Amino acid sequence: MVQTGSARPIRLSRAEQQAATRESLLRGAETVFARLGYGGASIELIAAEACYSKGAVFSNFASKEALFLELLRVYMDRDLAELEKIVSLAPAQLFDALSNWLQTMHADAHCPQLVVELQLHARRSPEFAGKYYALQERHTRTLAMILETYFKAHSKAIPIDALDLASCLTALAHGISLQNPVGKPGTSDEAGRIIDELLGVLIQR
């Protein structure tokens, strides 16, 4: 049930309640997986973090891995949606949009740790790996398309294969984010700032 100021409470439908519960469980899982890793996380801890029962978790997700996989899908879909918007922009708009995406891509403090946990679990679980690498490839190809447009708009040849450059920049972003102390002021967007400056150097070659 939702309160709307002094108005009467709005009663959520069953489907809306289930969607809200699922969203809360995913947020709780994101926090626990980032803090404790996949191995250290448990259904009990995730349920407690989300303020729900263990039964609520299992009524929405078949297993811890199924929950982790859904978290991966949500994370990747959100990132891909932002990148695909950039792909559709005219070159004049693309520069600012790409710079803005780079500056904010790791604004979520949990992002770097969660990315590493996803990568590590993909190494351990063949079933999870198939889904993870398919999403990762789509992400890399979309970023490569943006980079090709970026260099073309500057009338510059892309220095290496676009897919390779996209993979390098993604790995660099994750690495920079992880090497910075958690909670240090100004570090949430440092990786994006550095990559933005690096792209500026590459187009001046």
| Whole-number pLDDT of residue 47 | 96
What percent of the chain is modeled with pLDDT above 70? 88
Name the DSSP letter for residue 159: S
| Whole-number pLDDT of residue 73 | 87
Helix (H) or strand (E) holding 176: helix 162-179
Q: Check: CATH 1.10.357.10 for 66-205?
A: yes
CATH code of the domain made up of 1-61: 1.10.10.60
| Long-range CB contact pairs, 189-197, < 8 A, 24+ | 189/103, 189/104, 189/106, 189/107, 191/102, 191/105, 191/106, 192/101, 192/102, 192/103, 192/104, 192/105, 192/106, 193/102, 193/103, 195/102, 195/169, 196/98, 196/99, 196/102, 196/103
* pTM listed for this prediction: 0.77
Which residue stretches of 7-153 are H helix? 14-40, 43-50, 54-60, 64-87, 91-104, 111-124, 126-153
| Whole-number pLDDT of residue 64 | 92
Domain ranges for the chain = 1-61, 66-205
| Whole-number pLDDT of residue 6 | 52
| pLDDT lower than 70: segments of the chain | 1-9, 106-109, 182-189
| Whole-number pLDDT of residue 185 | 47
